[in-house]
Amino acid sequence: MGVLRYVAKRLGLYLAVLFIGLTITFMLPRLMPTNPVDGYIGQLQSRANGTLTSEAIAEMRTNLEQLYGLNGNIFSQYASYMKRVLIDFDFGPSFTYYPQPVSAMILNALPWTLGLLLTATFIAWVLGNMVGLVAGYFHKQRAASILEFLGILLYPIPYYILAVTVLLLLAYVFPIFPLSPTFPVGQLTPEKIGMILYNSLLPGITLVLAGFGWNILSMKALAVATTEEPYVVYARLKGASNWTRMMSYVFRNALLPQVTALALSLGMVFNGALLTEMIFSYPGIGLIMRTAATGGDYNVLYGAITLSIIAVATAGLVIDLIYPLLDPRIRHK
Amino acid sequence: MSLSKDIDPIVLAEPVAPVNAPRGRGSLMWLLNPRLSIGLVILAVMGLGSMILPFFAPVDPSVQASYMRNLKMSGAHWLGTNSLGQDIFWFLVFAVRNSLALGVLVAVGVTLIATIVGLSAGYIGGRFERFVMLIVDTFITIPLLPILIILGALIRGNTSFLTVGVIIIIFGWAWDARTVRSMALSLREREFINMARFSGANTLQIIAREIFPYVSAYMLVGFINVVLFAINTEATLAVIGLSKVEVPTLGSIIFWALNYNALFTGQFVWLIAPIIATVTLFLGLFLTSTGFNQAFASKRGVS
């Protein structure tokens, strides 16, 4: 019964996140003082040196409004928006790369983002938790505070600073990596895969470093608290070794809040990944968003943000659904 | 960590216990631990420096072509000039000031909203609480940067620096509301609250007189974390060119440096100076916040 209620509650949150997130995305441009269609028409007109007649402009406006789902009252716009996004996964064509559909562009970029993001988050989470565990379990020893110091130093540094610093150090001062990466397109060959991995290392290192600090600090704090628990003292009196106590008594229990925290911080991790992609010109969703934002390609922007919301919400849901497997208290309630 | 303002590990790990308010106006020396001292010194130097120095600035550093371009470091230009003919040192001073001011402004707004939402949810409870927490969790889960990017693309050029701050407030209050609410929850069932209720105090009075004094210490820590978050968010937007990049901030320096390919032209200072300034400022803020936390925690333990 406990599990069912837990799953139902979590699914409810998932639907609410999707609904509110998509509604915000829908409302934002409509609340703004500027109108993308006006902007686009202005662009075309300046390109045509103002030779467009007012009839041609009016016709173009109706066409564009039709194309971007802006006709009808706000409720029917909303209904058709939801249907298009959730059922058809159709965001219309791109402005800049007309007539390429937005969904195809996004689906092309998605594996890049996911590959980088999942690998980096996993490494940062595992490494950070291990270091944090050691720092917390041996917190009475001087050497452990050096590990914590590492966390304090890394945690408050913003992604963009880390990214620029990594670029400066590893591509300029020590030219191990290229300043501007090249990512081959087309059929994958072993050679190309190697090149992709080599070029992905810099953004990867940035993401790992960024996630590392926080994991160290929070795991350390959790491990310190858990080490004081009576059952850990009991295990020590029983004669369990340091390793057994650290791994199966402290780590197992301190892990649970870390899993929840990972689910909650996914949005932020995703933000960081987007930013890192932009700074390193890594061909994922982040780069698409940046190009679209500077070029005023709103369809692409909306596609990317909608997908971001769905992806982050789904990933959070998956982590939370795995959680009962780790926490017997929910299973046996 | 970008945009990851306040999953403060220390707050996370420590179940919220009530603060035993110090009796009387004794010395505040118990507050000072190494972390807090270092943090406060950094903040004082950077805060005061960036407030006072701008009055001595020879010209407004955001004006382009005030000086020769790409000058090396010298007595006249401590950190040289950039490719836009601006003095890097003065640009940096103004950047620290603007970023700090924005951070404090946003933190005031966020703290206000988060306190009202969190306290009322935690104290009133029931269906109201569930509804509010659903909204809060949604705001936490939605990735902020994509939304900010769209907003930035839509209003770019037609916005003031202040609007950027307001937008960050609108999308940044949720984490704090969650923290405040969990504190309110742990306080709701305490004896003295019941005592106040039986003495005839109404909800508003209980929130203002009984709960608020208890949570103020944590709110201070939360406040600093929001300052960090706000500076970070604005800088992030600026780095990708979607904030008001003409205004000097810690992010807009890096935006211009990257835009003019400072790495390729070998102008390290243009990039390294803001990096060092940002890291120092963030370390200062972070040490202050965790230092306060430690101080309050040990205060509780002692008394």
Mean pLDDT of B190-204: 82
Q: Name the one residue in this structure whose structure tokens are 């409004």.
A: A65
CB of B10 less than 8 A from some CB of A: yes
Q: Which of A48, A63, A88 is the last residue of a domain?
A: A88
Mean pLDDT of B106-133: 88
A82 and A136 housed in the same domain: no
A24 and A165 housed in the same domain: no
Whether A97 is covered by a domain: the verdict is no
- Residues 173-232 on B with a CB inside 8 Å of A are 228, 232
Residue A99 near residue A93, CB atoms below 8 Å: yes
| Rounded alpha-carbon distances, angstroms, from residue B178 to A156, A278, B122, B139, B231 | 21, 31, 9, 11, 21
**Considering CB atoms only, which of B12, B264, B290 is closest to A261?**
B12
* B258–A164 CB contact, under 8 Å: yes
Structure tokens at A31: 């609340």
Mean pLDDT of B283-288: 90
What is chain A's mean pLDDT, rounded?
Answer: 82
Whether A183 is covered by a domain: the verdict is yes
**Considering CB atoms only, which of A222, A289, A294 is closest to B13?**
A222
Find chain B residues with C-beta within 8 A of A32's C-beta. 151, 154-155
**Considering CB atoms only, which of A29, A157, A305 is closest to B279?**
A157
Whether A10 is covered by a domain: the verdict is no
A79 and A110 housed in the same domain: no
| CA B142 to chain CA centroid, nearest Å | 20
Query: Measured on CA atoms in the order A301, A307, A308, A313, is the torsion positive or negative?
Result: positive
| Rounded alpha-carbon distances, angstroms, from residue B32 to B36, B199, B274, B293 | 6, 38, 29, 11
A152 and A177 housed in the same domain: yes
A53 and A195 housed in the same domain: no
Find chain A residues with C-beta within 8 A of B278's C-beta. 157-158, 161
Whether A78 is covered by a domain: the verdict is yes
Q: What is the pLDDT of residue B265?
A: 79
* A34–B279 CB contact, under 8 Å: no
Query: What are the φ/ψ torsions at residue A101 (nearest 5 degrees)?
Result: -70, 145
- Give the gap in angstroms from C-alpha A197 to the nearest C-alpha of chain B: 23
Structure tokens at B85: 């003919």
CB of B252 less than 8 A from some CB of A: no
User: Which domain, by its residues, includes A219?
Assistant: 102-330
pTM of the model: 0.81
Quick one: pLDDT band at residue B7, thresholds 50, 70, 90?
very low
Q: Which of A88, A121, A137 is the last residue of a domain?
A: A88
Q: DSSP letter string over A255-309? A: HHHHHHHHHHHHHHHHHHHHHHHHHHT-TTHHHHHHHHHHHT-HHHHHHHHHHHH
- Give the gap in angstroms from C-alpha B171 to the nearest C-alpha of chain A: 11
Find chain B residues with C-beta within 8 A of A301's C-beta. 149-150, 153
Quick one: pLDDT band at residue A34, thresholds 50, 70, 90?
low
Residue A138 near residue A220, CB atoms below 8 Å: no
Quick one: pLDDT band at residue A109, thresholds 50, 70, 90?
confident
* B1–A158 CB contact, under 8 Å: yes
**Considering CB atoms only, which of B1, B235, B236 is closest to A210?**
B1
A256 and A287 housed in the same domain: yes
A258 and A146 housed in the same domain: yes
Q: What is the pLDDT of residue B99?
A: 93
Find chain A residues with C-beta within 8 A of B272's C-beta. 168
Whether A3 is covered by a domain: the verdict is no
Q: What is the pLDDT of residue A313?
A: 86
Quick one: pLDDT band at residue B17, thresholds 50, 70, 90?
very low
A308 and A251 housed in the same domain: yes
Mean pLDDT of A271-283: 87
Q: What is the pLDDT of residues B48-64, one digit of tens each?
A: 988 888 888 888 888 77
Q: Which of A63, A88, A113 is the last residue of a domain?
A: A88
Burial class (CB in 10 A: 0-12, 13-18, 19+), A111: exposed
- Give the gap in angstroms from C-alpha A192 to the nearest C-alpha of chain B: 26
Residue A213 near residue A154, CB atoms below 8 Å: yes
* A293–B150 CB contact, under 8 Å: yes
Assess whether pLDDT exceeds 70 at residue A237: yes
- Cα–Cα distance, B103 to B233 (Å, whole number): 10
Q: What is the pLDDT of residue B103?
A: 94
A250 and A306 housed in the same domain: yes
Whether A305 is covered by a domain: the verdict is yes
Quick one: pLDDT band at residue A50, thresholds 50, 70, 90?
low
The CB density around residue A185, as the number of other CB atoms within 10 Å, is: 8
* A33–B263 CB contact, under 8 Å: no
Quick one: pLDDT band at residue A89, thresholds 50, 70, 90?
confident
Whether A63 is covered by a domain: the verdict is yes
- Give the gap in angstroms from C-alpha B34 to the nearest C-alpha of chain A: 13
Residue A301 near residue B153, CB atoms below 8 Å: yes
What's the first-to-final CA gap in chain A, in angstroms? 7
CATH of the domain at A234: 1.10.3720.10
A54 and A106 housed in the same domain: no
Burial class (CB in 10 A: 0-12, 13-18, 19+), A229: middle
Whether A8 is covered by a domain: the verdict is no
A180 and A282 housed in the same domain: yes
- Cα–Cα distance, B273 to B103 (Å, whole number): 20
Quick one: pLDDT band at residue A189, thresholds 50, 70, 90?
confident
Beta-strand (E) ranges in A9-160? Answer: none
The CB density around residue A210, as the number of other CB atoms within 10 Å, is: 31
A226 and A321 housed in the same domain: yes
